[in-house]
Amino acid sequence: MSSDQEHLRETDTEDRFDFRKEEAAAFKADQGLTEETIRLISEDKDEPEWMLKRRLRALNLWQEMPMPTGWPGQPDLSEVDVNEIVPYIRPDVDVRAGVDDWEELPEDIKDTFDKLGIPEAEKNALSGVGAQYESEVVYQNMQERWEEKGVIFCNMDEAVQEHEDLVREYFMTKCVPPSDNKFAALHGAIWSGGSFVYVPEDVTVEMPVQAYFRMNSEGMGQFEHTLIIAEPNSEVHYIEGCSAPKYSAFNLHSGGVEVIVKENAHVQYSTVQNWSRNTYNLNTKRAIVESDGTMEWVSGSMGSKATMLYPSTILKGPGATDNHITIAFAGEGQNIDTGAKVYHNAPNTQSTIESKSVAKDGGRTNYRGLVHIADGAENSSTAVECDALMFDNESTSDTMPYMEIQESNVHVAHEATVGKIGDEDVFYLQSRGLDDDDAKQMIVNGFIEPITEELPIEYAVELNRLVELEMEGSLG
């Protein structure tokens, strides 16, 4: 590659992912987490009393619960001090007015998402788009034809006001209670923004809906909440994208995702994230699937200093199905700890987990997963496949699968492979005219193909581009 080409790629990388804007906030909370802060956030959002009570209960749980420690290979969380985090920043845009015209956004926010390609994707591949900047969703739009069929796609703050009964029933009650773990409790106390998706019975949303989450300010936390309810015989594909510029101070992302899949419904939840290498990504994601429903998780974890993310599914009804496909990429100074959890609580349920990881320049990847098949969940089956690819002797990759099988009439399979990029493979591709870097890139692209083929073409291209930039060491 010529020096001019390298310069263009570096410039493209900075423009596309690592740019930042001057902070312009209409409301900014103080650092730290106190009852006064929680009350101020709730008051600024004009929330009902029941939501404030849930926030305060979650705050009490956060204060009582210890930090997760002692897991083999766990990322170091000693730098994560919530007292140094700004938990809530409302950008200088009237989010309560319901901005659904891209041109009405302030120029600095619009320019941010223009550079990330959001409006172009909306035109070409999506049925709806939400864009969150700092702690608030600043733009939300849904194609009229889906609204006419009763599909709801709005931000969570609006849902609390406009769809209170549904939110009150499902918000952190069935899927992810704040007592689940310390960071679920943190999320329950200071959540802000995120997406609410409701798909009525017998409705198939043929094009994906997307939300994009952007942290712009240094030393802040982002805590968006996503709640998806798919009624019987419905179908929807939801895509989230995430990014943040690099700063010297750490940022914290601790979102929450809850998915309710009713009888014979089908939900796919895809994530393409590129957090900068000063970000701790500590999410809790869970789905509950009823009879003959299907849940699919597709995840690409490209960035962050440390990630702990294990999307989980409770197969509640007979015939329910769950599929996970994940890719993790760790470079120098990164510890990407990801995996999946599946609970087979009914007979004739099925699950598959396919995990891919790539580590280079001393990076660490880890698959940490759990499959639980309960007593009585007969005729259930699960297959777990974990493949790790390493570039050098300094990188580390571990596989930690846990199987809890309480029923004898089941089928369980697990396979794991760990290896380095083979010199023979690189030599063969070089003999076909590729240089060393392009040969390795082609091998990695083939390695992650099971994920990219599950995404719309625009996002498959984006994921491949992120991997390419990671291979060059250009990101973060």
Residue pLDDT tens, the chain, 476 long = 444 434 333 334 444 444 344 444 455 666 678 899 899 889 988 999 999 999 999 999 999 999 888 788 889 888 888 888 777 776 555 544 444 555 555 555 555 545 545 445 444 444 445 555 544 444 445 556 777 889 998 889 989 999 999 999 999 999 999 999 999 999 999 998 888 999 999 999 987 887 766 655 445 577 889 999 999 999 999 988 765 444 445 688 899 999 999 999 999 998 877 777 788 999 999 999 999 999 999 888 777 889 999 999 999 999 999 999 888 888 888 999 999 999 999 999 999 999 988 888 899 999 999 999 999 999 999 999 998 888 888 888 888 889 999 999 999 999 887 776 666 666 667 777 777 777 776 777 777 676 677 666 556 666 666 666 666 654 44
- E strand or H helix at 382: strand 380-390
Burial of 258 (0-12, 13-18, 19+ CB in 10 A): buried
- Opening angle at CA 368, ends 362 and 374, nearest 5: 170
CA dist 262 and 264 (Å) reads 6
Phi and psi dihedrals of 201, rounded to 5?
-60, 140
pLDDT for the residue 21? 41
Structure-token match 């001393």, residue found: 362
Give CA separation, 85 vs 2, 198, 249, 251, 375, in Å: 42, 32, 10, 7, 44
Q: What's the pLDDT at 79?
A: 87
Nearest Cα to Cα of residue 157 among 240, 27, 45: 45
DSSP E strand boundaries for 24-143: 25-28, 89-91, 128-133, 136-142
Cα separation of 448 and 325, whole Å?
10
Q: What are the helix (H) ranges across 126-261?
A: 144-147, 156-162, 164-170, 182-190
Which of 405, 403, 440, 448 minimizes the C-alpha distance to 423?
440
Please, which residues have CB within 8 angstroms of residue 142's CB and are 6 or more apart in sequence?
127, 128, 151, 153, 209
Per-residue model confidence as pLDDT tens digits over 422-439:
666 666 677 777 777 777
Beta bridge partners of 410: 380
Q: Which pTM does this prediction carry?
A: 0.83
Strand pairing class (312-315; 195-199): unpaired
**Sheet order of strands, 209-214 included:** 136-142, 128-133, 209-214, 235-243, 266-274, 294-301, 321-330, 350-359, 380-390, 410-420
* 3-class state of residue 429 by DSSP: helix
pLDDT, residue 146, reads 75
Q: With beta carbons less than 8 A apart as the criterion, state whether 239 and 459 touch.
A: yes
d(CA 107, CA 110): 5
